[in-house]
Each structure stands twice: as structure tokens, then as C-alpha cells.
Chains A and B, each alone.
Chain A
Amino acid sequence: MKRVLLFLIPLTAFLLLVVFLGVGLNRDPREIPSPFIGKPAPNFTLTQLQAPDKTFSPKDMEGKVWLLNVWASWCVACREEHPVLLDFSKLGVVPIMGLNYKDGRKEGAETLEKLGDPYQLSAFDADGRVGIDYGVYGVPETFVIDKHGVIRYKQIGPVTPEVISEKLLPLIKELNRA
């Protein structure tokens, strides 16, 4: 009995350590729980990327479930995400608004012209201040905002077809019913 314990105790300790380390390895350290979930989306008023004389504010979207997608022409992962967003926008389930983050007006507009524009419009956040207000630290990021202007979900990193079918669509359906 004693001999068995002598083996079992270190073995269990080791397996426990392996499990802990294994879980730790599989967690993405870039995904930080957002303190914004369940909180009202910070308000702002910015000019539109393609129409500098017009402005956009989250207040304009009241009563609608919508997506705010933070992107930039210099962001490589956004390129990867772009076709997925384009397809998603064609479904017409939800308005997608862009937040053009720390970009140039010319570069941003040219990117959309070349690759296609999934956004109803993009707000132009040249100095990244609105980004900071939304706790943006890695583009692309996507917020799901409900009819009352409350942030319900935040996707850090590119939106993929899996994210759309598993997370976004069910959530948008649920929020639209509410």
C-alpha cells in the first residue's frame, strides 16, 4: 500500500501539472476579457471615411442590432477578414459599420475601392482616440451592439465563417427578437 502511494502521489501531481500547463498552452493570451460586455457602447461623433462632410455616431443606430468592425488599411489580418465580411454583408442580416482606425483617409478609401466595401459606412478615427475608448488593442476587432446601444459581444482578431455561424448569427437572432 505504502509503495503504491509512493508512486501514485508524484504521478498524480505530475498529471495535474500537465493538465494545467496543457490548458494554459491552449489559451490565447491575446484574448483578454473585455470589460465592455454588457455596458453601453461609448458614444462618439466622427466624420465618415468616404464623406468627410458627413458624420456618424452610434446614436444613429439606436433601435437596431449592428456590428462595429474596427479595421485599417495597414492591418494584415483585416485583409484576411475582408472577404468574409463582404460575404456576410451580402446576407443583409445586420448592418456592419466600420471604424477606420489610425489610418489615412486616402489609404482607407482606396482599400475599400479596390477590395469591395462591406460597410454601410466607415467612421474615420485618424488618431485612434475612439479606438482607445472602445478598448481596442489589436485590429481587427468586432463589436456586436444591441438595440439599446449595449455591447453584447466582442470578437478579437479576424471574423471567420465559423465565428459568424457559431457566435454572431445566433446572437444577432436572439438580440433581434428581444
Chain B
Amino acid sequence: MPKFFLGFILALTTALSLLAHADEAKPVAADPVLEQRVKAITEELRCLVCQNQTIADSHADLAIDLRNQVREKLAQGMSDKEIIDFMVQRYGDFVLYRPPVKSTTWLLWFGPFLLLAGGFAFLGWKLSRREPAAEALPASDMQRAAELLGASSETKEST
């Protein structure tokens, strides 16, 4: 149950983060290529102090330190993946804005599709139980109806 909640919160905060576009922190390194990579990585990471912001967006002290660490590690030649692993090792999967697909996050990733499938199943079941539409009137009734209608229109004309 708590796992489910974590997943739910992750999904919600991810959605919110798309809406929020705070002021980006000013780049520090002179090298724009490096800075671009720092930004790309830190945008994937959640700031643990203000949890709805990425490390790239946040002005929290810790986020600034972590940005510096990322910058330093890139300068040392570490790969993006190594840096992400470094963060996950310390702060857990919680830092990832894109939670990895694993047994504890299956509900998060596949839950919506499960709900959709459930919805379709329910709809199918409901439709199959629906009473068939009333049959068309027998020919004799139709004829009588036509006669009555014809008669009424004639009386209208005559008056």
C-alpha cells in the first residue's frame, strides 16, 4: 500500500513539475557544453528539500551543492549514467523523476492501463446485458397507423 502511494505521489509531482516553470539557476561554469549536460542531468533529478522541483530549478542549498557535484563529476569524465547512479545510491529512487520499471513500480507504470482495461471490460459487460431494442411493429399495426395518419391528414384538409 505505501508503495502504491509513493507511486501516486511520484506521478502527481511529475505532472505538476511539467506545469511549473520556475526561474532557472544561473550557470556557473564557463563551458556552455558542460553546462548544458549539467542542466540535462539535473533536470532529471528531484530536489529532496523542495520535492516538487528539480535539482536544476531549485535554489535550495542542497540542490546547489548537488549541481556542483554533477558539474565536477562531469568534468572528471564520469558518464551521465554513473552520475545518476551516484545520486540513486545516496537518495534512493526517489530522486528520479522517471521512476525505473521494477516490481515495486509496476502498479505505477501499468496501473493506468489496468484501469483502462477494467473500464472496457465493464463497458462490454454492460452492453452485453442490455435488453435488445423493441422489435419493429408488425406489418398490420404499421398499416393501421398509416391509415389513421392518412385519415387525420385528410380531415385536416377538409376543414
Measuring CB to CB, which residues of chain A are less than 8 angstroms from any residue of chain B? 20, 23-24, 27, 29-30, 32-36, 102, 127-128, 132-135, 137-138
Q: In the complex, are the beta carbons of A32 and B1 less than 8 A apart?
A: no
Q: In the complex, are the beta carbons of A135 and B91 less than 8 A apart?
A: yes
Number of A-B contacts (CB under 8 A): 45
Assess A132 versus B90: contact at CB under 8 Å? Given A29-B51, A138-B48: yes
Chain A positions within 8 Å of B142 at CB level? none
B90 contact from A29, A33, A102, A134, Cβ within 8 A: A134
Chain B positions within 8 Å of A32 at CB level? 48, 91-92, 94
Assess A132 versus B61: contact at CB under 8 Å? Given A32-B48, A32-B91: no
Distance in Å: Cβ of B51 to nearest Cβ of chain A: 6
Chain B residues with a Cβ closer than 8 Å to the other chain, count: 20
B92 contact from A29, A34, A132, Cβ within 8 A: A34
Q: A23-B5, A36-B90, A128-B61 are in contact. List 10 more A-B contacts (CB 8 A).
A: A24-B8, A29-B51, A30-B51, A32-B48, A32-B91, A33-B92, A35-B88, A134-B90, A135-B92, A138-B48
A–B Cβ pairs within 8 angstroms, 5 of them: A32-B48, A33-B94, A35-B89, A128-B65, A135-B92
Q: In the complex, are the beta carbons of A24 and B69 less than 8 A apart?
A: no
Interface of B is mostly: helix
Interface of A is mostly: loop
Q: What 0/1 pattern do residues 1 to 42 of B give for CB contact below 8 A with A?
A: 110010011000000000000000000000000000000000
Quick one: closest B residue to A24, CB to CB? B5
Chain A positions within 8 Å of B65 at CB level? 127-128, 132
CA distance A30 to B9 in the complex (A): 12
Q: What 0/1 pattern do residues 53 to 77 of B give for CB contact below 8 A with A?
A: 0000000011001100100000000
Assess A27 versus B2: contact at CB under 8 Å? Given A35-B89, A35-B90, A135-B90: yes
Q: In the complex, are the beta carbons of B9 and A133 less than 8 A apart?
A: no
A137 contact from B9, B49, B89, Cβ within 8 A: B49
Distance in Å: Cβ of A128 to nearest Cβ of chain B: 5
